[in-house]
């Protein structure tokens, strides 16, 4: 006779496996349209224009471990992009596929995590082991986990993290974050002391990997303390026991502090952090309060999702939107306290996790000019969707006590299925917004036509790159009409005028850009080119030198400086500039060729021949008669 417990366990495992396959497949299917998308926005900084991820040698790995490129330290994220490049090159389809698969895996991890948490809660409350739980307990755990995972995986708020290749860091961080929580639960329930410490060390390692993917994982120690409270209920009357539970988080807290320091340093170096003069503390706190409600609203009613939400205007205590947000937060918190007094801890845990995981991105430390972002909800939304899943299960159980349970269960199942279908449809539509840069920025402009000048600037860049110079210039002017103090837009306007040959207009725009930001190296370099085209070589040299003074590692500027010196006939200075350019970029065929010309003018045929041959080997079209004459050593200067 087959043991009932064993049979029940096998049946439950089979259901979990089938549910897992369905959840993963459905999530991946809904996000498949992202494979048609191109690179957009920061994808160029992270992948397309990032030569550092185009190899996996020691030098590249060292850069990944030490770089604060893009104002962040996340070596695991860089290594994942490098692996993608090794497999797919610059084909965006492969990079998108990786994002989709990782998101599918994260959805599975949410499913498994919720099952473990539900069973842990039932074990504590029922004082029974998982294997002895009633059949309904297993089924309810799987049902709640399935609904939670599908809401998480299919929600259109996920699109920004999945369809944006540069947000790989969000997906990887969540992947290791969720694995850490699962390992921590295994640590808590391990009977063997040896196994317990193995799970603990693995949890710590995975947490470190989460931090190396994206620093948003810094809240994990607080999350562990929250889980210790409920549903794991590790706190007891004993002070010594509670102290040990707190002290075991010390290595996690240490890693969080170290990651926070590194992140602040990286973002300060990239000038991403806004000063309190720019955004006062009271404004930040009010925006943080509003953001907590704003994200809840988007989870419940996910319409008009935008890749960039500008910082809200008129932030003050008398603004109704901030008053309402404050009242709602106080009301939710009050209900949580009331539920705790009645020894019901679920709502408090859900709300606390939501607030805790949002803390790094609520704008207390304001990074960038956005007021909110869909990607910030990736981890925080799990608890809200868990509450929804529990709500569906609770309603199902209540329906079972009524006379019309079949009809009502059908309505509940149909309603839940309809919600998931609608969310999938909205997600697929949202993915289209990320198809390419032009569609992307046009959509943002359509939502914020008068409050987001950066969108006009970025769309102008798209136009200029595609040769639509007049359209690009018009967009830059539209951006400046909204924000007439933006140095970046003036710099882009100057570059566009330069490409049209409108030298005076280009110079005027560049000068204005430097008036607002005198540290823009590219503007000095562009001014040098413009003055060179106008025939003012001395002023061109002056501008190139200013650019080099700010950044001495710009090969192209040294190269242009060498050309300018050569025009003036100052050959020694030209040679020095070309040599510096090659020290930075040794495989520049054009630089080798022009250095060869400079040496040849100085009468140094041997060096001229060496650089001429190097230019030829790098693919430069070298005049054969000159190469042959130098080789035969017949050429001499007058």
- Please say if the pLDDT value at position 614 is more than 70: yes
Mean pLDDT of the chain: 90
The Cα angle at residue 299 between residues 297 and 300, in degrees rounded to 5:
65
pLDDT (0 to 100) of residue 404:
84
pLDDT (0 to 100) of residue 136:
57
Instruction: Please indicate whether residue 63 or residue 625 has the higher confidence score (pLDDT).
Output: 63
- Sorting pLDDT into bands at 50, 70 and 90, what band is 365? confident
Token pair 């050569």: residue: 566
* pLDDT, tens digit, 9 for 90 and up, residues 508-538: 999 999 999 999 999 999 999 999 999 999 9
* pLDDT, tens digit, 9 for 90 and up, residues 541-560: 999 999 999 999 889 999 99
pLDDT (0 to 100) of residue 284:
87
| Least confident piece of the model among 27-31, 139-143, 342-346 | 139-143
Pick from 96, 92, 116: nearest CA to 104: 96
Are 26 and 158 in contact, with CB atoms under 8 Å apart? Answer: no
Mean pLDDT (whole number) for 42-63? 89
- The distance of Cα 70 from the centroid of its chain, to the nearest Å, equals 10
- Sorting pLDDT into bands at 50, 70 and 90, what band is 634? very low
pLDDT (0 to 100) of residue 617:
87
| Least confident piece of the model among 186-195, 264-273, 286-295, 300-309 | 264-273
Mean pLDDT (whole number) for 463-478? 96
pLDDT (0 to 100) of residue 636:
43
- Sorting pLDDT into bands at 50, 70 and 90, what band is 181? very high
Q: Is residue 405 part of a domain?
A: yes
- Please say if the pLDDT value at position 399 is more than 50: yes
Q: Is residue 123 part of a domain?
A: yes
Burial of 609 (0-12, 13-18, 19+ CB in 10 A): buried
Q: Is residue 298 part of a domain?
A: yes
pLDDT (0 to 100) of residue 124:
59
The reply to whether omega before 231 is within 30° of 0 (cis) is: yes
Full domain range(s) for residue 15: 11-432
- Sorting pLDDT into bands at 50, 70 and 90, what band is 613? confident
Mean pLDDT (whole number) for 63-89? 92
pLDDT (0 to 100) of residue 8:
55
Are 28 and 100 in contact, with CB atoms under 8 Å apart? Answer: yes
Q: How many CB atoms lie within 10 A of CB 512?
A: 20
If you count DSSP H runs as helices and E runs as strands, how many of each does the chain have, helices first?
29, 2
CA distance 387 to 148: 8
> What are the structure tokens assigned to 179, written together?
């694995």
The Cα angle at residue 19 between residues 17 and 21, in degrees rounded to 5:
70
Q: Is residue 532 part of a domain?
A: no
pLDDT (0 to 100) of residue 134:
43
Total number of domains constituting the chain: 1
Instruction: Please indicate whether residue 1 or residue 33 has the higher confidence score (pLDDT).
Output: 33
Mean pLDDT (whole number) for 55-66? 88
Q: Is residue 122 part of a domain?
A: yes
Instruction: Name the percent of the chain lying above pLDDT 90.
Output: 67
pLDDT (0 to 100) of residue 129:
43
* pLDDT, tens digit, 9 for 90 and up, residues 90-137: 999 999 999 999 999 999 999 999 999 998 887 655 544 444 434 456
Pick from 111, 140, 117: nearest CA to 26: 111
Mean pLDDT (whole number) for 234-253? 87
Helix (H, G, I), strand (E, B) or coil at 310: strand
> What are the structure tokens assigned to 165, written together?
């290749």
Rg (CA), the chain: 30
Q: Is residue 332 part of a domain?
A: yes
**CA quadruple 47, 48, 51, 57: dihedral sign:** positive
Q: Is residue 509 part of a domain?
A: no
Q: Is residue 487 part of a domain?
A: no
- Beta strand pairing status for 370-372 and 309-310? antiparallel
pLDDT (0 to 100) of residue 31:
98
Instruction: Please indicate whether residue 526 or residue 239 has the higher confidence score (pLDDT).
Output: 526
Q: How many CB atoms lie within 10 A of CB 267?
A: 20
CA distance 592 to 15: 67
pLDDT (0 to 100) of residue 119:
85
């Amino acid at each position: 006779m087959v043991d009932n417990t064993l049979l029940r366990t096998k049946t439950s495992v089979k259901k979990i496996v089938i549910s897992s396959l369905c959840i993963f497949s459905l999530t991946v299917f809904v996000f498949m349209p992202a494979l048609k998308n191109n690179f957009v926005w920061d994808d160029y900084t992270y992948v397309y224009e990032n030569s550092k991820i185009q190899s996996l040698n020691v030098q590249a790995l060292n850069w990944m471990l030490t770089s604060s490129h893009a104002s962040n330290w996340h070596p695991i994220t860089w290594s994942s992009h490098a692996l993608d490049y090794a497999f797919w090159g610059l084909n965006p389809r492969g990079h998108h596929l990786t994002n989709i698969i990782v998101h599918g895996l994260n959805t599975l991890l949410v499913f498994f995590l919720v099952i473990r948490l539900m069973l842990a809660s039932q074990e504590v409350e029922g004082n029974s082991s998982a294997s002895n739980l009633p059949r309904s307990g297993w089924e309810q755990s799987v049902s709640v986990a399935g609904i939670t995972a599908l809401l998480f995986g299919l929600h259109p708020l996920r699109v920004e993290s999945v369809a944006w290749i540069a947000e790989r860091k969000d997906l990887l961080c969540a992947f290791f974050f969720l694995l850490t929580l699962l390992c921590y639960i295994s640590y808590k329930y391990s009977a063997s002391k040896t196994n317990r410490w193995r799970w603990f060390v693995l949890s710590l390692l995975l947490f470190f990997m989460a931090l190396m993917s994206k620093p948003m994982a810094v809240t994990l120690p607080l999350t562990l303390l929250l889980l210790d409270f409920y549903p794991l209920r590790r706190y007891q009357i004993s002070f010594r026991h509670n102290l040990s539970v707190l002290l075991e988080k010390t290595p996690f807290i240490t890693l969080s502090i170290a990651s926070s320091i590194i992140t602040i340093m990286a973002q300060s170096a990239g000038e991403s952090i806004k000063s309190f003069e720019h955004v006062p503390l009271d404004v930040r706190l009010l925006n943080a309060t509003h953001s907590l409600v704003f994200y809840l609203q988007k989870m419940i009613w996910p319409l008009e999702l935008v890749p960039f939400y500008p910082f809200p205007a008129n932030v003050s205590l008398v603004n109704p939107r901030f008053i309402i947000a404050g009242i709602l937060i106080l009301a939710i918190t009050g209900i949580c306290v009331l539920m705790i007094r009645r020894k019901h801890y679920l709502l408090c845990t859900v709300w606390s996790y939501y607030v805790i995981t949002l803390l790094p991105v609520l704008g207390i430390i304001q990074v960038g000019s956005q007021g909110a972002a869909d990607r910030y909800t990736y981890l925080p939304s799990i608890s809200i969707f868990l509450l929804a899943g529990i709500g569906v299960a609770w309603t199902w159980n209540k329906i079972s006590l009524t006379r019309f349970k079949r009809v009502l269960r059908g309505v509940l199942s149909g309603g839940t299925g309809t919600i998931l279908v609608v969310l999938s449809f909205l997600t697929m539509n949202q993915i289209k917004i990320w198809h390419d840069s032009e569609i992307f920025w046009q959509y943002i402009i359509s939502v914020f036509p008068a409050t987001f000048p950066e969108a006009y600037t970025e769309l102008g860049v798209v136009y200029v790159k595609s040769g639509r110079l007049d359209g690009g210039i018009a967009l830059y002017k539209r951006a400046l009409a909204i924000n007439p103090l933006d140095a970046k837009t003036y710099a882009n306007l100057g570059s566009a005028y330069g490409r049209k040959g409108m030298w005076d207009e280009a110079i005027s725009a560049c000068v204005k850009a430097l008036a607002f930001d005198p540290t823009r190296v590219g503007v000095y370099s562009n001014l040098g080119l413009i003055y060179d085209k106008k025939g003012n070589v001395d002023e061109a040299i002056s501008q190139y030198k200013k650019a080099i003074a700010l950044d001495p590692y710009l090969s192209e500027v040294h190269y242009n400086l060498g050309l300018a010196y050569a025009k003036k006939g100052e050959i020694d200075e030209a040679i020095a500039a070309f040599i510096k350019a090659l020290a930075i970029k040794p495989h520049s065929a054009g630089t080798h060729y022009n250095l060869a010309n400079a040496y040849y003018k100085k009468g140094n045929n041997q060096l001229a021949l060496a650089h001429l041959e190097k230019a030829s080997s790098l693919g430069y079209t070298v005049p054969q008669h000159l190469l042959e004459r130098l080789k035969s050593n017949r050429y001499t200067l007058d």
